[in-house]
Structure 1
């Protein structure tokens, strides 16, 4: 059975705010996090932790 686009856990892309263009791909729970998520993760291009923001 295929997944629907209106699933509870959609796939989101997290883009680095460091300006490198590096991205992470993850899933989020739309019921718990209805707004765009922001996480501090490691950017291997900058070699340090920066904020990653959800992109649509």
Structure 2
């Protein structure tokens, strides 16, 4: 594969509706669907689900 195609940079947006985002990389071969990660949202004051946006 060409360089950079297997691990693209994705943006994770909070499902709490606060507008907080995280930036990470994912492996398309292992996770072809959208990522769902439980991370800390400083505006909400706790851990919430963050979903990959396209």
What 5-or-longer segments of structure 2 have no aligned partner? Answer: none
What 5-or-longer segments of structure 1 have no aligned partner? Answer: none
Compute the RMSD of aligned alpha carbons. Answer: 1.0
Q: Which runs of structure 2 are paired with 1:18-33 in the superposition (5 Å)?
A: 18-33=16-31
- Alignment correspondent of 2:40: 42
What is the CA deviation profile of residues 10-55 of structure 1, one whole-angstrom value per residue up to 9, with x for unaligned ones?
A: 0000000011010000000000000001010000111100000000
User: Where does structure 1 differ by over 4 angstroms across 4 or more consecutive aligned residues?
Assistant: none
| Count of matched residue pairs | 52
